Amino acid sequence: MSESLLAEIFVGLMGLAILVYAILDGYDLGVGILLPLDANREVERDQMIASIGPFWDANETWLVLAVGLLLIAFPKAHSLVLYHLYLPTAFMLIGLILRGVAFDFRAKAHINHKLGWDRTFKIGSLLTALTQGYMLGLFVMGFDQGLPSILFALVSSFGVASAYAYIGSTWLVWKADGLLQKTAVKWARRAGWLAFIGVIAVCAVNLIVNPDVFAKWFDFPLVMFVLLIPFVCFCAFVFNELLLRRMPRNDDAFAWLPFCSVVSIFVCCFFGVAFSFFPDIVPRQMTIYESMSAPESLSFLLVGAVVVVPAIIGYTALSYYIFRGKVNDLTY
């Protein structure tokens, strides 16, 4: 197997892990961000936590897989990325720790302390989402540390948090019923507008600050095909807004459709970013071919990846099948 093909296989696996993580952990981060903190809304909070309870911990497996693949397949890029993102990565880990501790302790704490742990879960979710958005913004800007780049990264952080709230609210539309479902529809419509603005901002700045990306997107005749990505993304936003205006339905039909529509938005955004920078793994600094490990190492690791990745996909699919259906009061 050629060296270039090995590099492309592993960057494809890493991209798959990042995309699945953004979708799966994105919705449970979004649920955490949306968690209401009014003392008289404990039932709602319990239902929201129940909707992600069987999944949230396993969803983070994909983040571990993505970082692991970056480390073993592209060690030079791993060092360079962490060099630029050390602080936001540390804050992201703090957010994930807060989420994990709060999730377990809220179920064991005295009733008077439960709201405090719910607040901790919300803070951890928001901190994790904001830092991931900040890292995405710096990545698009080529890890430049100037003031304009920092400001854009801050805008990106709120855009990603809005996107997570968007997919989290549509998850609740699917999994909840009654008053919580109606509230989730309102959250979804508001978060959808914020996410749309964030996507437009990231796309526009990416094209402005990266002339090579602009040339790649508008190169004829390729432009006739690649512009389908933003077109499909825009149609998904419009379709979802029109769909949410008619929800919830009395028969609860198509409650899953808004979530699937947001998933398509995430997929379009991911492929847009991937197309913009491929084969660079660090924009304007390093390609996947320059940063890859020895071909002999990758060939050996590929055998393990062929076993591990389908296993992760399998138990993830099984858990979602087992815990399908609506949630109510911490039960299915």
Residue 73 lies in a domain: yes
Q: What is the pLDDT of residue 247?
A: 83
Q: What is the pLDDT of residue 328?
A: 67
**Rounded-to-10 torsion of CA 216, 221, 225, 230:** 50
Burial class (CB in 10 A: 0-12, 13-18, 19+), 40: exposed
Residue 330 lies in a domain: no
Residues 6+ apart with CB under 8 A from 197: 159, 162
Residues 10 and 69: beta-carbon distance below 8 Å:
yes
Q: What is the pLDDT of residue 24?
A: 92
Please give the C-alpha separations between residue 84 and each of 76, 88, 134, 199, in angstroms, as whole numbers.
Answer: 13, 9, 12, 23
d(CA 81, CA 95): 20
Residue 332 lies in a domain: no
CA 245 to chain centre: 25
Q: What is the pLDDT of residue 20?
A: 93
Residue 166 lies in a domain: yes
The total domain count for the chain is 1
Residue 327 lies in a domain: no
Nearest CA to 248 out of 190, 302, 188 is that of 188
Q: What is the pLDDT of residue 1?
A: 67
Question: Over the chain (332 residues), what is each successive 10-residue block's mean pLDDT?
Answer: 85 92 93 88 85 84 89 90 91 93 81 84 94 91 85 90 95 89 93 91 82 81 82 93 86 86 94 88 87 87 88 89 76 46
Radius of gyration over every alpha carbon of the chain, rounded to an integer in angstroms: 20
Look at residue 265 and give its three-state secondary structure: helix
Residue 131 lies in a domain: yes
Q: The whole model's pTM is what? A: 0.92
Long-range contacts of 222-227 (CB under 8 A, 24+ apart): 226/275
Q: Which residues of 177-215 are buried (b: 16+ CB within 10 A; e: fewer)?
A: beebbebbbebbbebbebbbebbebbbebbbebbeebee
The whole domain housing 258 covers: 3-322
Residue 329 lies in a domain: no
Q: What is the pLDDT of residue 143?
A: 86
Q: What is the pLDDT of residue 332?
A: 42
Q: What is the pLDDT of residue 201?
A: 86
Nearest CA to 288 out of 2, 8, 56, 41 is that of 8
